[in-house]
Amino acid sequence: MSKIYKITEIIGTSPRSFAEATQNAVKEAGKSIKAMGWFEVDRLGGRIEGDRVSEFQVKLKVGFRLLSPEELKKA
Amino acid sequence: MSKIYKITEIIGTSPRSFAEATQNAVKEAGKSIKAMGWFEVDRLGGRIEGDRVSEFQVKLKVGFRLLSPEELKKA
Amino acid sequence: MSKIYKITEIIGTSPRSFAEATQNAVKEAGKSIKAMGWFEVDRLGGRIEGDRVSEFQVKLKVGFRLLSPEELKKA
Amino acid sequence: MSKIYKITEIIGTSPRSFAEATQNAVKEAGKSIKAMGWFEVDRLGGRIEGDRVSEFQVKLKVGFRLLSPEELKKA
Amino acid sequence: MSKIYKITEIIGTSPRSFAEATQNAVKEAGKSIKAMGWFEVDRLGGRIEGDRVSEFQVKLKVGFRLLSPEELKKA
Amino acid sequence: MSKIYKITEIIGTSPRSFAEATQNAVKEAGKSIKAMGWFEVDRLGGRIEGDRVSEFQVKLKVGFRLLSPEELKKA
Amino acid sequence: MSKIYKITEIIGTSPRSFAEATQNAVKEAGKSIKAMGWFEVDRLGGRIEGDRVSEFQVKLKVGFRLLSPEELKKA
Amino acid sequence: MSKIYKITEIIGTSPRSFAEATQNAVKEAGKSIKAMGWFEVDRLGGRIEGDRVSEFQVKLKVGFRLLSPEELKKA
Amino acid sequence: MSKIYKITEIIGTSPRSFAEATQNAVKEAGKSIKAMGWFEVDRLGGRIEGDRVSEFQVKLKVGFRLLSPEELKKA
Amino acid sequence: MSKIYKITEIIGTSPRSFAEATQNAVKEAGKSIKAMGWFEVDRLGGRIEGDRVSEFQVKLKVGFRLLSPEELKKA
Amino acid sequence: MSKIYKITEIIGTSPRSFAEATQNAVKEAGKSIKAMGWFEVDRLGGRIEGDRVSEFQVKLKVGFRLLSPEELKKA
Amino acid sequence: MSKIYKITEIIGTSPRSFAEATQNAVKEAGKSIKAMGWFEVDRLGGRIEGDRVSEFQVKLKVGFRLLSPEELKKA
């Protein structure tokens, strides 16, 4: 069987950096998705309060492999 | 916990206008998604019959917040 | 014979809304094109007079099917 | 003297439609800008409350002519 | 009720061609999605081993209609 | 006289592959256009029936040279 | 009647500059199109012979107004 | 009155990271703009000296709300 | 203090060439902006009268450095 | 040492299909590049002779890993 | 053997015009590349000193054919 | 002689952040390229293991000046 991947779009946030916002998004996605393999950044942005960035936001496309029935039994 | 948002892609239709097509898409999405917060239009288009637009179509990216376990209990 | 579609680019205008500008463009295109099937919006814009939008403009890509010789006879 | 135009970016909102949101943005821009001539839509989006679009948003690039000193005296 | 469509993103693979990778993706998607209607290619790519393409990859956006409750009963 | 080229947009279809859809579009375009020289693919997509791609679609921009009056006499 | 515009795509060439290539394209287009109003540059490129640009190419989208029957009589 | 937002484009720099360059840009923008609400990253880049990045650059679009006359009095 | 740059969008025109239209835009921008450093072309276009380009237009993004209070005193 | 990849841009051709054009490009690139890992398609196009595609062209971005000195000795 | 082309990215500059900047880039590229065939403009920009464009910049993608061993012997 | 710049595309990686991945890419590029001047980020992405980003990836376009023969002697 040929491999099939799916893409999900998710936005992570962090008060400190784009990298941490990315980690937070991936960690959260991992609660419902198995076999994540890679991500691409679709957009960077954030919220401002006063004259400070209060929230860094990273919009990600996360790619994951659809598991075969055999793999799902073991997972 | 940092906030996490998800994006879903949906196309709404209307025989009258782009705004109504957008409302229809959001209303339908609301049947399965809680805590929707914003949308972006990805593409506008439609169907033509004879020399009339018979269907306005709006392709949306709808953003919604993933609820925490506490929020889910109350929802 | 496999189906073939052609695309034509047209800009419609309206003093009232994007939807009406779209209808106007499609109606006009229908004077010279048969078998139009769909459109995509390429750009939205308009003219301003004073502090009012005086003309809404919608740039469309209109798709239509090339009719076979048999169909053309009947059309 | 050759003509020179400037572009400003503005977002208008409306509870009803994209066309009205555009009108609102242009009206507001007209308070500080003279000689507006055209606009282009950069992005369409909005806010959602419950399962309804509560706010249509239109991000515009508005073009206006820089007036010559003679024109400014008359304005 | 106006028609509503949803979009899902999926990547299919094939050792032979882009067309076969597309077929594989659509076949797999069909296991969990009913009423698929069309697809758009978002990106083409692949893996290389030595000096050979070992895997053609096609990233698709697949559109499908949300079935009404009546249709779901029959499906 | 400097050379001038024109671009026409056309969509070809095939039940089998993107390459065949491209050939079909070009063959059809050749019925009304002389001196075609090159094409660019603008979008790939298609229709799905059940869990199979039933129609591969290729949207092309086809470039052709405008013939000079001398060339037109000979053509 | 609301105004309607059409867009045609054309490539002009010149051995000397992008501006001249643009002029050549517009002049040629004027042989078959009336009421041209504006153009947008879609792509700049060219041919190279040895280590010299031998041909500057400008791909244009030319906009023209569709004349009303009254205007066509006078034209 | 419907809400109106404006966008300004600014580039921040930092010798250390993209996040810090973003903070610097927002802080500087805050000297002349009130009521900033969000930002989007338009481009990331930087300067290189020797084999080191000496300056991280972040080009931002900063969105801010136009204050009503009442709000301006209080500000 | 880290360096901060701002971007302004402006359209210059010329009856002769894209380069001259660029010079005109920059010269005009210099009347109100100090410390301009670079530009990027966002779009090329123009107006047509009869079968001639009557106005070349260049839409520019002009970047300039925000001067520190010390520099402003000297300027 | 962290891994570093480089990208090279190449166009392959084939009289038959996009997939074969891709294989040809990769095979040729392999004569001078070691450790190729993946490719992305940047553009599809081709040449036309008469009413036939005579050459399918695929413009690829090929990614390859820079080998460490140890790996280069073994290669 | 099927033909293979490679793309290289280069930026040319000129104090006078975009066309001359293009010629300079191509001339320089010709010192190390044989068999250049075409170019595409990727971006136009430049430097500003005072209120003058002091340097026009053209970022090009230059395409050239990979010579076969037989051709290389003759070159 | 007018200045000429070249662009090379490279991907850097880091287990920690996008900024560090950028530094790694530039450091590596510096082993074979002299006179690097600036970079632009083309894409951000990465690998995921379990529910963690294990590798941040930054795809860069690095610009460097082609040295004149005199500069090369001194380098």
pLDDT in tens, F30-66: 998 989 999 999 999 999 999 999 999 999 999 999 8
Is residue K41 within 8 A of residue G44, CB to CB? The reply is: yes
Average pLDDT, chain B: 92
Please answer yes or no on whether C43 and D40 come within 8 Å at the CB atom.
yes
I38: pLDDT strictly greater than 80? yes
K-contacting chains (≥3 CB pairs under 8 Å):
G, I, J, L
CATH node for E5-67:
3.30.1660.10
CATH node for K5-66:
3.30.1660.10
| CA A54 from centroid of its chain's CA atoms | 20
* Residue E16 Cα, gap to closest chain F Cα (Å): 12
CB proximity list for G22: less than 8 A, separation 6 or greater: G12, G39, G41, G58, G60, I46, I53, I56
Please answer yes or no on whether F31 and J51 come within 8 Å at the CB atom.
yes
The pLDDT value given to residue A1: 58
Under an 8 Å CB criterion, which residues of I touch K?
A: 17-19, 22-23, 26-27, 29-31, 36-41, 44, 62
Q: Which of L2, L9, L63 sits opposite K12 (nearest CB)?
A: L2
The pLDDT value given to residue C10: 97
K1: pLDDT strictly greater than 80? no
Rounded to an integer, the average pLDDT of B42-69 is: 94
Which of the 8 DSSP states describes residue I17? -
Q: Which two tokens stand for residue J67?
A: 């080998």
CB proximity list for H28: less than 8 A, separation 6 or greater: H10, H12, I4, I66
Concatenate the DSSP letters of all residues of C57-70 into one string: EEEEEEEEEPPPHH
Q: Residue A56 and residue A43: Cα distance in Å, rounded? A: 11
F75: pLDDT strictly greater than 70? no
For residue L28, what is the enclosing H or E element?
Answer: helix L18-29
* The pairing of beta strand D36-49 with beta strand B52-65: unpaired
Under an 8 Å CB criterion, which residues of E touch A?
A: 8-15, 21, 24-25, 28, 55, 59
| CA F67 from centroid of its chain's CA atoms | 18
Concatenate the DSSP letters of all residues of chain A into one string: ---EEEEEEEEEEESS-HHHHHHHHHHHHTTT-SSEEEEEEEEEEEEEETTEEEEEEEEEEEEEEPPPHHHHHH-
pLDDT digits (tens, 9 = 90+) for H17-30: 999 999 999 999 99
Nearest to B5 by CA among D43, D21, A46, E1: A46
Better pLDDT: J74 or A9: A9
User: Hey, where are the domains in chain G?
Assistant: 5-74
pLDDT digits (tens, 9 = 90+) for D14-65: 999 999 999 999 999 999 898 999 999 999 999 999 999 999 999 999 999 9
Cβ neighbours of I42 (radius 10 Å): 17
H30: left (phi > 0), else alpha (psi -120 to 50), else beta? alpha
Is residue F75 within 8 A of residue F30, CB to CB? The reply is: no
Please answer yes or no on whether J31 and E51 come within 8 Å at the CB atom.
yes
Residue type at position E60 = L
Q: Which residues of L touch K11 (CB under 8 A)?
A: 4-7, 63
Rounded to an integer, the average pLDDT of A48-64 is: 97
The pLDDT value given to residue D10: 97
Is residue D62 within 8 A of residue D22, CB to CB? The reply is: no
CA angle E1, E2, E5 (to 5 degrees): 125
CA angle L59, J24, E60 (to 5 degrees): 55
Q: Residue I48 and residue H51: Cα distance in Å, rounded? A: 49
pLDDT digits (tens, 9 = 90+) for G8-64: 999 999 999 999 999 999 999 999 898 999 999 999 999 999 999 999 999 999 999
Size of interface F-G (CB pairs under 8 A): 31
Please answer yes or no on whether I51 and G36 come within 8 Å at the CB atom.
yes
* Residue H70 Cα, gap to closest chain I Cα (Å): 29
Better pLDDT: G71 or L50: L50
Nearest to I29 by CA among K51, D8, D70: K51
C39: Cα within 13 Å, side-chain hemisphere: 35
CB proximity list for E22: less than 8 A, separation 6 or greater: E12, E39, E41, E58, E60, F46, F53, F56
Cβ neighbours of D2 (radius 10 Å): 17
The pLDDT value given to residue H1: 58
Q: What is the dihedral of CA A34, A38, A43, A46, to 10 degrees?
A: 60
The pLDDT value given to residue I70: 78
* Residue K4 Cα, gap to closest chain J Cα (Å): 5
**Multiple choice CATH, C5-74, 3.40.50.150, 2.40.128.130, 3.30.1660.10, 3.40.50.720:** 3.30.1660.10
Cβ neighbours of G32 (radius 10 Å): 8
C21: Cα within 13 Å, side-chain hemisphere: 29
Residue type at position K73 = K
ipTM: 0.93
The pLDDT value given to residue D14: 97
Nearest to J40 by CA among L45, L59, E57: E57
Q: Which two tokens stand for residue L7?
A: 């662009």
The pLDDT value given to residue I20: 96
The pLDDT value given to residue G10: 97
Least confident range of H49-58, J16-25, J62-71, K48-57:
J62-71
Please answer yes or no on whether K46 and I22 come within 8 Å at the CB atom.
yes
Q: How far is CA I74 from CA I6, I29, I34, K48, in A?
A: 20, 20, 12, 20
The architecture (CATH level 2) of B5-68 comes to 2-Layer Sandwich (3.30)
Residues of chain E with pLDDT under 70: 1, 75
Q: Residue H4 and residue H67: Cα distance in Å, rounded? A: 8
Is residue J41 within 8 A of residue E44, CB to CB? The reply is: yes
Percent of chain C with pLDDT over 70: 97
Q: Residue L38 and residue H16: Cα distance in Å, rounded? A: 15
| Closest-CA residue of chain H to A49 | H37
Percent of chain E with pLDDT over 90: 80
